[in-house]
Amino acid sequence: MESFLDELNQLRNLDFDTYRKDFLLTTDKTREDIKATIKMAQLLRTLYRNNISTRFFQTGLAISIFKDKSTRTRFSFASAANLLGLTLNEFDETKTQVSHGETLRETSNMISFLSEVIGIRHDKFIGQGHQYMKTVGEALDEGFAEGVLGHRPAIVNLQCDVDHPTQTLTDILHLKRYCGGRLEDLKGKKIAMTWAYSPSYGKPLSVPQGIITLMSRFGMDVHLAHPEGYDLMDDTMDKAKQYAEESGGSFTQSNSMEAAFEDADVVYPKSWAPYSVMEEKTKLLEEENESGLEELEQQCLERNKQHIDWECNREMMDLTRDGDALYMHCLPADISGVSCEHGEVTEEVFEQARINTYYEARYKPYIIAAMIIGARFRNPISLLDYLYRKRNRRAGSFES
């Protein structure tokens, strides 16, 4: 706790501008915005760990809209809301009149009268998730401008087709601690963001896209490797190149897992679908073409099988720096012999890294909470300062 005020001063020195802005893509944010968000997450965690209440709100709703399954992000959003004193309300389209033909513009306002934040996961359809969030945002802008809403709730992207910022900021906070404690320590470190085999298809591209665009901004040597045809969205690769140039890092793309792992400090092997398949899938879903979808799935699974050797195993890990790179994964991983016959990673490698993947995951509630207070308060620094000085106990006593 001694260092709390020092850390707060570091936050004061950052020139960030997150107030009244949604957190949709890290590429929309400045490096200072990102640094400030990470710093606020750490400060919130310090308060929590010292049993100091972080109720920024006495009342208020946090709405979540999940258009795909989720464990970590669902509970992280619930935890973040609770940490700040907000009450979660999950918007479930099957229980509402959206199935009666209500428009998104209208619904966005109807769920927002007393809401502070709307968290959205919409990651299954290429070209749709990010657009959906922007449409909600425009509806809220209109509602606020017209006085329908007394304030403008913030939107937090809980994973879209383009980016997964709550995951990648969690990842960079984990990396920061691992590499020495400062974001500067990431400079010159090599991260291998690689495809890995999985007996499933259609996994979103948002994690690899988010990783290459974020880590390249902080001076890392980013090596993206995948089998031919498993490209990401062009725009994210262009951004990664540009950021690497600006930051003094590098961005390499190859079709060799080995080349990526070679001397890597960090490896992030993970399955995803080829961009073209995701586009095709989106089209077929829109057409409700069931047989087409089944055929596509079979084709895609067959195609994946040709790359069954893209597995993170001991031999691959031995290629990394001192054979001891940090293994990262957003979880759940497909573990060979555990959750499937052949998967992204062997049981041996995963088991060694397992607790580290938990460490990685644990920051997410604080990252989300930091995104919320950054967007909802003009001066979150003075509020953090106030909570620190007030020292209201979160649980009954320090004995908990």
Range 137-176, binding a second copy (CB under 8 A):
142-143, 146-151
Task: Determine contact, residues 121/67, Cβ cutoff 8 Å.
Answer: yes
129-153 burial, b at 16+ Cβ within 10 Å, e below that, comes to bbebbeebbebbeebbeeeebeebb
The residue among 62 and 220 lying less far from a second copy, judged by its C-beta, is 62
The residue among 152 and 217 lying less far from a second copy, judged by its C-beta, is 152
CB of 219 to a second copy, least distance (A): 28
Classify the phi-psi angles of 249: left when phi > 0, otherwise alpha if psi is within -120 to 50, otherwise beta.
Answer: beta
Maximum Cα–Cα distance across the chain: 62
Position among 6, 181, 228, 397 found at the interface with a second copy (CB under 8 A) = 397
Stretch that binds a second copy, among 204-212, 240-248, 259-267, 372-380 (CB under 8 A): 372-380
Decide if residue 389 touches a second copy (CB under 8 A): no
Decide if residue 99 touches a second copy (CB under 8 A): yes
Residues composing the chain: 400
Closest CA to 392 of 53, 45, 46: 53
For 222, the enclosing helix (H) or strand (E) is strand 221-225
Task: Determine contact, residues 68/122, Cβ cutoff 8 Å.
Answer: yes
CB of 188 to a second copy, least distance (A): 28
Position among 134, 283, 383, 385 found at the interface with a second copy (CB under 8 A) = 383
Q: How far apart are CA 222 and CA 267, in angstroms?
A: 10
Decide if residue 10 touches a second copy (CB under 8 A): no
Decide if residue 101 touches a second copy (CB under 8 A): yes
CB of 17 to a second copy, least distance (A): 15
Position among 10, 31, 32, 114 found at the interface with a second copy (CB under 8 A) = 114
Q: How far apart are CA 25 and CA 58, in angstroms?
A: 29
CB of 176 to a second copy, least distance (A): 17
Position among 15, 28, 102, 341 found at the interface with a second copy (CB under 8 A) = 102
Position among 57, 141, 188, 283 found at the interface with a second copy (CB under 8 A) = 57
Pairing relation of β-strands 335-336 and 326-327? Answer: unpaired
Decide if residue 396 touches a second copy (CB under 8 A): yes
Position among 88, 259, 285, 301 found at the interface with a second copy (CB under 8 A) = 88
Task: Enumerate residues 329-358 that contact a second copy by CB under 8 A.
Answer: 331-332, 334, 338-340, 354-355, 358
The residue among 77 and 268 lying less far from a second copy, judged by its C-beta, is 77
CB of 362 to a second copy, least distance (A): 5
Work out the number of other CB atoms within 10 angstroms of the CB of residue 214: 28
Decide if residue 204 touches a second copy (CB under 8 A): no
Stretch that binds a second copy, among 30-38, 55-63, 159-167, 281-289 (CB under 8 A): 55-63
Task: Enumerate residues 275-294 that contact a second copy by CB under 8 A.
Answer: none
Q: How far apart are CA 366 and CA 169, in angstroms?
A: 10
Using the structure block, give the residue that is written with the tokens 């299954």: 124
Burial class (CB in 10 A: 0-12, 13-18, 19+), 100: exposed
Burial class (CB in 10 A: 0-12, 13-18, 19+), 6: exposed
Q: How many residues bind a second copy (CB under 8 A)?
A: 84
CB of 90 to a second copy, least distance (A): 9
Position among 71, 289, 299, 306 found at the interface with a second copy (CB under 8 A) = 71
